[in-house]
Protein backbone atom coordinates (compact mmCIF):
# COMPACT_ATOMS: atom_id res chain seq x y z
CA UNK A 1 0.00 0.00 0.00
CA UNK A 2 2.10 2.89 1.32
CA UNK A 3 5.76 3.00 2.20
CA UNK A 4 5.03 3.48 5.91
CA UNK A 5 4.12 0.16 7.66
CA UNK A 6 2.41 1.95 10.56
CA UNK A 7 -0.01 3.71 8.19
CA UNK A 8 -0.66 0.43 6.35
CA UNK A 9 -1.54 -1.11 9.72
CA UNK A 10 -4.01 1.68 10.52
CA UNK A 11 -5.67 1.44 7.09
CA UNK A 12 -6.04 -2.35 7.16
CA UNK A 13 -7.63 -2.29 10.62
CA UNK A 14 -10.47 -0.13 9.25
CA UNK A 15 -11.22 -2.30 6.21
CA UNK A 16 -13.85 -5.04 6.04
CA UNK A 17 -12.89 -8.61 5.16
CA UNK A 18 -14.34 -8.14 1.68
CA UNK A 19 -12.21 -5.05 1.07
CA UNK A 20 -9.13 -6.74 2.52
CA UNK A 21 -9.62 -9.67 0.13
CA UNK A 22 -9.82 -7.24 -2.80
CA UNK A 23 -6.67 -5.44 -1.65
CA UNK A 24 -4.79 -8.73 -1.39
CA UNK A 25 -5.43 -9.34 -5.13
CA UNK A 26 -3.96 -6.04 -6.34
CA UNK A 27 -0.24 -6.84 -6.17
CA UNK A 28 2.33 -8.68 -4.06
CA UNK A 29 3.06 -5.64 -1.91
CA UNK A 30 -0.62 -5.08 -1.06
CA UNK A 31 -0.99 -8.83 -0.56
CA UNK A 32 1.72 -8.83 2.13
CA UNK A 33 0.01 -5.96 3.94
CA UNK A 34 -3.57 -7.26 3.73
CA UNK A 35 -3.17 -11.00 4.40
CA UNK A 36 -2.27 -10.78 8.14
CA UNK A 37 -5.43 -8.72 8.78
CA UNK A 38 -7.63 -10.79 6.47
CA UNK A 39 -6.74 -14.01 8.33
CA UNK A 40 -6.38 -12.53 11.82
CA UNK A 41 -9.87 -13.62 12.89
CA UNK A 42 -11.65 -16.60 11.38
CA UNK A 43 -15.30 -15.61 11.24
CA UNK A 44 -18.26 -17.92 10.70
CA UNK A 45 -20.49 -16.43 7.98
CA UNK A 46 -24.28 -16.62 8.16
CA UNK A 47 -26.83 -16.73 5.38
CA UNK A 48 -27.67 -13.03 5.85
CA UNK A 49 -24.10 -11.83 6.36
CA UNK A 50 -22.85 -9.72 3.48
CA UNK A 51 -19.25 -9.43 4.73
CA UNK A 52 -18.25 -13.09 4.22
CA UNK A 53 -14.94 -14.85 3.67
CA UNK A 54 -16.67 -18.01 2.47
CA UNK A 55 -19.54 -18.59 0.11
CA UNK A 56 -21.62 -21.12 2.01
CA UNK A 57 -22.03 -22.70 5.40
CA UNK A 58 -19.96 -25.81 4.62
CA UNK A 59 -16.94 -23.83 3.41
CA UNK A 60 -15.04 -24.08 6.70
CA UNK A 61 -15.45 -27.85 6.87
CA UNK A 62 -14.44 -28.21 3.21
CA UNK A 63 -11.38 -26.02 3.74
CA UNK A 64 -10.36 -28.11 6.78
CA UNK A 65 -10.97 -31.36 4.87
CA UNK A 66 -8.94 -30.17 1.90
CA UNK A 67 -6.02 -29.26 4.12
CA UNK A 68 -6.29 -32.47 6.18
CA UNK A 69 -6.19 -34.66 3.06
CA UNK A 70 -3.33 -32.60 1.60
CA UNK A 71 -1.25 -33.24 4.72
CA UNK A 72 -2.16 -36.94 4.72
CA UNK A 73 -0.97 -37.28 1.13
CA UNK A 74 2.30 -35.56 1.95
CA UNK A 75 3.03 -38.22 4.57
CA UNK A 76 2.14 -41.24 2.43
CA UNK A 77 5.01 -43.75 1.96
CA UNK A 78 7.14 -43.06 -1.11
CA UNK A 79 6.92 -46.67 -2.36
CA UNK A 80 5.11 -47.06 -5.60
CA UNK A 81 3.43 -44.15 -7.35
CA UNK A 82 3.74 -40.71 -5.75
CA UNK A 83 0.47 -39.06 -4.84
CA UNK A 84 -0.80 -36.47 -7.30
CA UNK A 85 -0.86 -33.29 -5.22
CA UNK A 86 -2.44 -30.05 -6.24
CA UNK A 87 0.15 -27.48 -7.37
CA UNK A 88 -1.52 -25.00 -5.03
CA UNK A 89 -1.07 -25.18 -1.28
CA UNK A 90 -4.43 -25.21 0.60
CA UNK A 91 -5.30 -21.85 2.18
CA UNK A 92 -5.26 -23.20 5.75
CA UNK A 93 -1.73 -24.55 5.30
CA UNK A 94 -0.59 -21.33 3.66
CA UNK A 95 -2.24 -18.77 5.95
CA UNK A 96 -3.05 -20.68 9.15
CA UNK A 97 -0.09 -19.18 10.99
CA UNK A 98 -1.67 -15.71 10.58
CA UNK A 99 -4.84 -16.71 12.45
CA UNK A 100 -4.97 -15.25 15.95
CA UNK A 101 -8.67 -15.59 16.82
CA UNK A 102 -10.98 -18.57 16.31
CA UNK A 103 -14.64 -19.09 17.27
CA UNK A 104 -15.41 -20.83 20.54
CA UNK A 105 -14.89 -24.63 20.41
CA UNK A 106 -18.64 -25.35 20.42
CA UNK A 107 -19.19 -23.14 17.36
CA UNK A 108 -16.17 -24.55 15.58
CA UNK A 109 -17.29 -28.11 16.32
CA UNK A 110 -20.71 -27.37 14.86
CA UNK A 111 -19.20 -25.97 11.64
CA UNK A 112 -16.89 -28.95 11.24
CA UNK A 113 -19.61 -31.59 11.61
CA UNK A 114 -20.72 -33.43 8.46
CA UNK A 115 -23.69 -31.77 6.75
CA UNK A 116 -27.07 -33.38 7.17
CA UNK A 117 -27.97 -32.74 3.54
CA UNK A 118 -25.69 -34.39 0.99
CA UNK A 119 -24.01 -31.64 -1.04
CA UNK A 120 -21.09 -32.49 -3.34
CA UNK A 121 -18.43 -33.33 -0.76
CA UNK A 122 -14.73 -33.45 -1.52
CA UNK A 123 -13.37 -36.76 -2.76
CA UNK A 124 -11.90 -38.37 0.32
CA UNK A 125 -9.90 -41.61 0.47
CA UNK A 126 -10.97 -41.99 4.10
CA UNK A 127 -14.62 -41.00 4.73
CA UNK A 128 -14.29 -41.85 8.43
CA UNK A 129 -12.57 -38.60 9.41
CA UNK A 130 -14.16 -37.55 12.68
CA UNK A 131 -15.07 -34.04 13.75
CA UNK A 132 -12.60 -34.32 16.63
CA UNK A 133 -9.78 -35.10 14.17
CA UNK A 134 -10.69 -32.09 12.02
CA UNK A 135 -10.84 -29.85 15.08
CA UNK A 136 -7.40 -30.96 16.18
CA UNK A 137 -6.06 -30.38 12.67
CA UNK A 138 -7.44 -26.81 12.55
CA UNK A 139 -5.86 -25.95 15.91
CA UNK A 140 -2.59 -27.52 14.77
CA UNK A 141 -2.52 -25.29 11.69
CA UNK A 142 -3.28 -22.15 13.73
CA UNK A 143 0.04 -22.23 15.53
CA UNK A 144 -0.02 -18.59 16.70
CA UNK A 145 -3.44 -18.39 18.34
CA UNK A 146 -4.00 -15.71 20.96
CA UNK A 147 -6.77 -17.09 23.17
CA UNK A 148 -8.23 -14.26 25.24
CA UNK A 149 -11.40 -15.97 26.46
CA UNK A 150 -12.51 -19.58 26.17
CA UNK A 151 -15.85 -21.23 26.92
CA UNK A 152 -15.62 -25.02 27.29
CA UNK A 153 -18.78 -27.11 27.48
CA UNK A 154 -18.89 -30.89 27.87
CA UNK A 155 -19.01 -32.48 24.43
CA UNK A 156 -19.41 -36.04 23.28
CA UNK A 157 -16.94 -37.67 23.03
CA UNK A 158 -15.38 -35.15 25.41
CA UNK A 159 -12.22 -37.18 26.02
CA UNK A 160 -10.76 -36.49 22.55
CA UNK A 161 -11.92 -32.87 22.54
CA UNK A 162 -10.49 -32.16 25.99
CA UNK A 163 -7.03 -33.33 24.91
CA UNK A 164 -7.13 -30.98 21.92
CA UNK A 165 -8.30 -28.03 24.00
CA UNK A 166 -5.73 -28.73 26.71
CA UNK A 167 -2.86 -28.92 24.22
CA UNK A 168 -3.63 -26.01 21.89
CA UNK A 169 -5.81 -23.49 23.77
CA UNK A 170 -5.38 -23.62 27.54
CA UNK A 171 -1.65 -22.71 27.71
CA UNK A 172 -2.41 -19.16 26.47
CA UNK A 173 -5.95 -18.50 27.69
CA UNK A 174 -6.60 -15.48 29.92
CA UNK A 175 -10.33 -15.85 30.69
CA UNK A 176 -11.68 -19.39 31.03
CA UNK A 177 -15.26 -20.59 31.51
CA UNK A 178 -15.86 -24.30 32.19
CA UNK A 179 -19.32 -25.90 32.05
CA UNK A 180 -18.39 -29.46 33.03
CA UNK A 181 -19.79 -31.94 35.52
CA UNK A 182 -16.99 -34.50 35.60
CA UNK A 183 -14.47 -33.47 38.32
CA UNK A 184 -11.71 -35.53 36.70
CA UNK A 185 -11.93 -33.56 33.46
CA UNK A 186 -12.13 -30.31 35.44
CA UNK A 187 -8.83 -31.15 37.11
CA UNK A 188 -7.33 -32.30 33.83
CA UNK A 189 -8.16 -29.04 32.04
CA UNK A 190 -7.16 -26.77 34.92
CA UNK A 191 -3.80 -28.55 35.16
CA UNK A 192 -3.03 -27.39 31.62
CA UNK A 193 -3.66 -23.73 32.42
CA UNK A 194 -0.62 -21.54 32.89
CA UNK A 195 0.21 -18.24 34.53
CA UNK A 196 -1.62 -16.39 31.75
CA UNK A 197 -4.99 -17.29 33.31
CA UNK A 198 -6.44 -14.31 35.23
CA UNK A 199 -10.19 -15.13 35.37
CA UNK A 200 -11.94 -18.47 35.91
CA UNK A 201 -15.68 -19.13 35.79
CA UNK A 202 -17.23 -22.50 36.70
CA UNK A 203 -20.64 -24.09 36.15
CA UNK A 204 -20.31 -27.40 37.96
CA UNK A 205 -22.88 -30.02 38.86
CA UNK A 206 -20.93 -32.91 40.39
CA UNK A 207 -23.01 -36.03 40.91
CA UNK A 208 -20.40 -38.61 41.87
CA UNK A 209 -16.69 -38.95 42.61
CA UNK A 210 -15.26 -39.56 39.16
CA UNK A 211 -11.96 -41.42 38.90
CA UNK A 212 -10.17 -43.05 35.97
CA UNK A 213 -7.64 -45.30 37.66
CA UNK A 214 -5.22 -44.97 40.53
CA UNK A 215 -2.18 -44.17 38.38
CA UNK A 216 -3.93 -41.40 36.46
CA UNK A 217 -5.39 -39.88 39.62
CA UNK A 218 -2.01 -39.89 41.34
CA UNK A 219 -0.39 -38.34 38.29
CA UNK A 220 -3.10 -35.68 38.18
CA UNK A 221 -2.47 -34.78 41.81
CA UNK A 222 1.29 -34.63 41.32
CA UNK A 223 1.03 -32.39 38.24
CA UNK A 224 -1.27 -29.90 39.99
CA UNK A 225 0.16 -26.44 40.52
CA UNK A 226 -0.94 -23.09 41.84
CA UNK A 227 -2.50 -20.67 39.35
CA UNK A 228 -0.39 -17.71 40.39
CA UNK A 229 -1.95 -15.11 38.05
CA UNK A 230 -5.57 -16.06 38.79
CA UNK A 231 -7.20 -13.05 40.47
CA UNK A 232 -10.93 -13.57 39.87
CA UNK A 233 -13.00 -16.72 40.52
CA UNK A 234 -16.69 -16.92 39.58
CA UNK A 235 -18.94 -19.78 40.70
CA UNK A 236 -21.94 -19.41 38.40
CA UNK A 237 -23.23 -22.80 39.46
CA UNK A 238 -21.66 -24.99 42.11
CA UNK A 239 -23.65 -28.11 43.01
CA UNK A 240 -22.03 -31.18 44.48
CA UNK A 241 -23.89 -34.36 45.42
CA UNK A 242 -20.76 -36.50 45.64
CA UNK A 243 -19.85 -38.21 48.87
CA UNK A 244 -16.36 -36.85 49.36
CA UNK A 245 -16.74 -33.25 48.05
CA UNK A 246 -13.03 -33.56 47.31
CA UNK A 247 -12.99 -31.31 44.25
CA UNK A 248 -13.37 -28.06 46.19
CA UNK A 249 -10.28 -28.36 48.44
CA UNK A 250 -8.32 -29.35 45.32
CA UNK A 251 -9.60 -26.26 43.48
CA UNK A 252 -9.15 -23.66 46.22
CA UNK A 253 -5.67 -24.87 47.03
CA UNK A 254 -4.72 -23.75 43.52
CA UNK A 255 -6.53 -20.41 43.88
CA UNK A 256 -4.40 -19.00 46.66
CA UNK A 257 -3.79 -15.74 44.73
CA UNK A 258 -7.47 -15.00 44.06
CA UNK A 259 -8.57 -11.57 45.29
CA UNK A 260 -12.13 -11.37 43.93
CA UNK A 261 -14.86 -13.99 44.35
CA UNK A 262 -18.27 -13.97 42.63
CA UNK A 263 -20.98 -16.47 43.57
CA UNK A 264 -24.30 -16.98 41.80
CA UNK A 265 -25.93 -20.38 42.26
CA UNK A 266 -24.60 -22.49 45.09
CA UNK A 267 -25.93 -25.81 46.31
CA UNK A 268 -25.39 -26.93 49.86
CA UNK A 269 -21.71 -26.10 49.81
CA UNK A 270 -21.72 -22.68 51.52
CA UNK A 271 -19.85 -23.94 54.57
CA UNK A 272 -17.39 -25.94 52.45
CA UNK A 273 -16.72 -22.84 50.40
CA UNK A 274 -16.18 -20.65 53.47
CA UNK A 275 -13.88 -23.18 55.16
CA UNK A 276 -11.74 -23.59 52.05
CA UNK A 277 -11.49 -19.82 51.57
CA UNK A 278 -10.14 -19.48 55.10
CA UNK A 279 -7.68 -22.33 54.56
CA UNK A 280 -6.41 -21.76 51.02
CA UNK A 281 -7.34 -18.22 49.91
CA UNK A 282 -5.68 -15.68 52.23
CA UNK A 283 -5.80 -12.83 49.67
CA UNK A 284 -9.50 -12.80 48.83
CA UNK A 285 -11.00 -9.44 49.86
CA UNK A 286 -13.85 -8.81 47.36
CA UNK A 287 -17.09 -10.77 47.17
CA UNK A 288 -20.00 -10.26 44.82
CA UNK A 289 -23.30 -12.10 45.04
CA UNK A 290 -25.20 -12.64 41.81
CA UNK A 291 -24.44 -11.70 38.23
CA UNK A 292 -25.82 -9.23 35.71
CA UNK A 293 -28.46 -10.58 33.30
CA UNK A 294 -29.00 -13.78 35.19
CA UNK A 295 -32.11 -15.49 36.50
CA UNK A 296 -33.30 -14.57 39.99
CA UNK A 297 -32.51 -16.70 42.99
CA UNK A 298 -32.91 -16.43 46.75
CA UNK A 299 -29.99 -16.02 49.12
CA UNK A 300 -30.91 -16.71 52.72
CA UNK A 301 -29.68 -14.98 55.85
CA UNK A 302 -27.55 -17.86 57.21
CA UNK A 303 -25.96 -18.52 53.80
CA UNK A 304 -24.93 -14.88 53.48
CA UNK A 305 -23.42 -15.00 56.98
CA UNK A 306 -21.54 -18.22 56.17
CA UNK A 307 -19.96 -16.78 53.02
CA UNK A 308 -19.12 -13.49 54.72
CA UNK A 309 -17.15 -15.45 57.32
CA UNK A 310 -14.79 -16.78 54.62
CA UNK A 311 -12.36 -13.86 54.43
CA UNK A 312 -9.22 -14.13 56.52
CA UNK A 313 -8.11 -10.50 56.26
CA UNK A 314 -11.57 -8.91 56.03
CA UNK A 315 -13.75 -7.90 53.08
CA UNK A 316 -12.99 -4.65 51.30
CA UNK A 317 -15.82 -4.90 48.76
CA UNK A 318 -19.23 -6.51 49.33
CA UNK A 319 -21.76 -6.27 46.51
CA UNK A 320 -25.20 -7.77 45.99
CA UNK A 321 -26.44 -7.69 42.38
CA UNK A 322 -30.02 -6.95 41.37
CA UNK A 323 -30.95 -10.51 40.42
CA UNK A 324 -30.69 -11.70 44.04
CA UNK A 325 -33.66 -11.84 46.39
CA UNK A 326 -31.66 -11.23 49.53
CA UNK A 327 -32.83 -12.12 53.01
CA UNK A 328 -30.46 -9.86 54.92
CA UNK A 329 -31.34 -10.64 58.53
CA UNK A 330 -29.74 -10.36 61.93
CA UNK A 331 -27.23 -13.18 61.38
CA UNK A 332 -25.93 -11.69 58.10
CA UNK A 333 -25.76 -8.20 59.59
CA UNK A 334 -23.73 -9.50 62.52
CA UNK A 335 -21.33 -11.26 60.11
CA UNK A 336 -20.95 -8.06 58.07
CA UNK A 337 -20.25 -6.06 61.24
CA UNK A 338 -16.98 -7.94 61.73
CA UNK A 339 -15.70 -6.51 58.45
CA UNK A 340 -16.52 -2.83 59.11
CA UNK A 341 -12.85 -1.99 59.88
CA UNK A 342 -11.76 -3.10 56.36
CA UNK A 343 -14.92 -2.33 54.38
CA UNK A 344 -14.35 0.12 51.52
CA UNK A 345 -17.34 -0.46 49.25
CA UNK A 346 -20.85 -1.79 49.96
CA UNK A 347 -23.51 -2.09 47.25
CA UNK A 348 -27.07 -3.33 47.79
CA UNK A 349 -29.92 -3.01 45.33
CA UNK A 350 -33.37 -1.80 46.36
CA UNK A 351 -34.76 -5.34 46.15
CA UNK A 352 -32.76 -6.31 49.20
CA UNK A 353 -34.14 -6.36 52.71
CA UNK A 354 -31.94 -3.54 53.99
CA UNK A 355 -33.43 -0.52 55.77
CA UNK A 356 -32.52 2.97 56.88
CA UNK A 357 -31.73 2.07 60.48
CA UNK A 358 -29.08 -0.38 59.20
CA UNK A 359 -27.03 2.46 57.75
CA UNK A 360 -26.03 4.02 61.06
CA UNK A 361 -23.72 1.20 62.28
CA UNK A 362 -22.02 1.05 58.88
CA UNK A 363 -21.37 4.78 58.66
CA UNK A 364 -20.29 5.01 62.28
CA UNK A 365 -17.91 2.04 62.28
CA UNK A 366 -16.27 1.91 58.82
CA UNK A 367 -13.20 4.17 58.72
CA UNK A 368 -12.23 3.12 55.16
CA UNK A 369 -15.68 3.23 53.56
CA UNK A 370 -15.67 5.35 50.42
CA UNK A 371 -18.69 4.03 48.48
CA UNK A 372 -22.13 3.05 49.81
CA UNK A 373 -25.17 2.19 47.71
CA UNK A 374 -28.17 1.08 49.74
CA UNK A 375 -31.90 1.53 50.29
CA UNK A 376 -33.40 3.65 53.06
CA UNK A 377 -37.05 3.30 54.06
CA UNK A 378 -37.49 6.53 55.99
CA UNK A 379 -35.83 9.91 56.32
CA UNK A 380 -35.97 10.03 60.13
CA UNK A 381 -33.16 7.50 60.51
CA UNK A 382 -31.03 9.57 58.17
CA UNK A 383 -31.80 12.81 59.93
CA UNK A 384 -30.38 11.34 63.13
CA UNK A 385 -27.03 11.02 61.35
CA UNK A 386 -26.17 14.70 61.36
CA UNK A 387 -22.47 13.85 61.48
CA UNK A 388 -20.40 10.73 61.80
CA UNK A 389 -16.69 10.26 62.48
CA UNK A 390 -15.60 9.11 59.02
CA UNK A 391 -17.81 11.21 56.75
CA UNK A 392 -14.79 12.80 55.04
CA UNK A 393 -13.69 9.44 53.60
CA UNK A 394 -17.07 8.77 51.93
CA UNK A 395 -16.99 9.77 48.27
CA UNK A 396 -20.11 7.99 46.93
CA UNK A 397 -23.42 7.75 48.80
CA UNK A 398 -26.46 6.47 46.88
CA UNK A 399 -29.67 5.84 48.83
CA UNK A 400 -33.39 5.83 48.09
CA UNK A 401 -35.83 7.50 50.41
CA UNK A 402 -39.51 6.63 50.07
CA UNK A 403 -41.25 8.87 52.61
CA UNK A 404 -40.51 12.31 51.17
CA UNK A 405 -43.98 13.65 50.14
CA UNK A 406 -44.63 14.70 46.55
CA UNK A 407 -47.38 17.30 46.10
CA UNK A 408 -48.15 16.08 42.58
CA UNK A 409 -49.37 12.71 43.89
CA UNK A 410 -52.48 11.79 45.83
CA UNK A 411 -52.29 9.83 49.10
CA UNK A 412 -53.06 6.42 47.66
CA UNK A 413 -50.47 6.93 44.91
CA UNK A 414 -47.84 7.71 47.57
CA UNK A 415 -48.87 4.51 49.36
CA UNK A 416 -48.34 2.51 46.15
CA UNK A 417 -44.93 4.07 45.70
CA UNK A 418 -43.98 3.13 49.23
CA UNK A 419 -45.11 -0.43 48.65
CA UNK A 420 -43.06 -0.71 45.45
CA UNK A 421 -40.08 1.08 47.02
CA UNK A 422 -39.86 3.67 44.27
CA UNK A 423 -38.12 6.98 44.93
CA UNK A 424 -40.72 9.57 45.93
Indicate which CATH number applies to the domain containing 312: 3.80.10.10
Residue 422 has pLDDT above 60, yes or no: no
Alpha-carbon torsion (43, 44, 47, 52), positive or negative: positive
Q: How far apart are CA 199 and CA 227, in angstroms?
A: 10
Q: What is the mean pLDDT of the chain?
A: 79
Residue 227 has pLDDT above 60, yes or no: yes
Residue range 388-415: mean pLDDT, rounded: 64
Residue 43 has pLDDT above 80, yes or no: no
> What residues contact residue 308 under an 8 Å CB cut-off, 6+ apart?
287, 315, 318, 332, 335, 336, 338, 339
Is position 96 within any domain? Answer: no
Question: Would you state the pLDDT for residue 291?
Answer: 77
Question: Would you state the pLDDT for residue 210?
Answer: 61
Residue 80 has pLDDT above 70, yes or no: no
Is position 3 within any domain? Answer: yes
Question: Would you state the pLDDT for residue 113?
Answer: 83
Is position 143 within any domain? Answer: no
Question: Would you state the pLDDT for residue 242?
Answer: 86
Is position 347 within any domain? Answer: yes
Q: Which of 122, 168, 121, 165 is nearest to 141 (CA)?
A: 168
Range(s) of the domain holding residue 11? 1-38
Q: How far apart are CA 232 and CA 283, in angstroms?
A: 11
Is position 67 within any domain? Answer: no
Q: Which of 244, 239, 261, 377 is nearest to 318 (CA)?
A: 261
Question: Would you state the pLDDT for residue 315?
Answer: 96
Question: Would you state the pLDDT for residue 338?
Answer: 92
Is position 409 within any domain? Answer: yes
What's the pTM value of the predicted model, to 2 decimals?
0.80
* Confidence label for 262 from pLDDT (cuts 50, 70 and 90): very high
- In this predicted model, what pLDDT tens digit does every residue of 113-143 receive, in sequence order? 876 544 444 454 445 788 888 899 999 999 8
Is position 16 within any domain? Answer: yes
Is position 125 within any domain? Answer: no
Lowest mean pLDDT among 76-90, 116-130, 228-242: 116-130
| Total domains present in the chain | 2
Residue range 50-79: mean pLDDT, rounded: 70
Question: Would you state the pLDDT for residue 70?
Answer: 85
Amino acid sequence: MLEVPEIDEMICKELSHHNLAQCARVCKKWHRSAIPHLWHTLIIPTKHQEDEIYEHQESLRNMALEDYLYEQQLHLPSEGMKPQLSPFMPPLAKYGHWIRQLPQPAVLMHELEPPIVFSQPLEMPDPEITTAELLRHVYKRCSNLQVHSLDVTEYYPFGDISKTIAEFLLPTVRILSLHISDPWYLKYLLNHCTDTLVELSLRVNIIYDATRNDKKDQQLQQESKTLESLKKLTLEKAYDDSESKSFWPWLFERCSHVERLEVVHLGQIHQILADNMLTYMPNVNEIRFGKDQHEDYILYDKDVATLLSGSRQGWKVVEFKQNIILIFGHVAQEALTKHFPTLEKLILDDRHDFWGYDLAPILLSSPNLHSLTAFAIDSLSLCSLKTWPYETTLRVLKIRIVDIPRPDLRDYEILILRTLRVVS
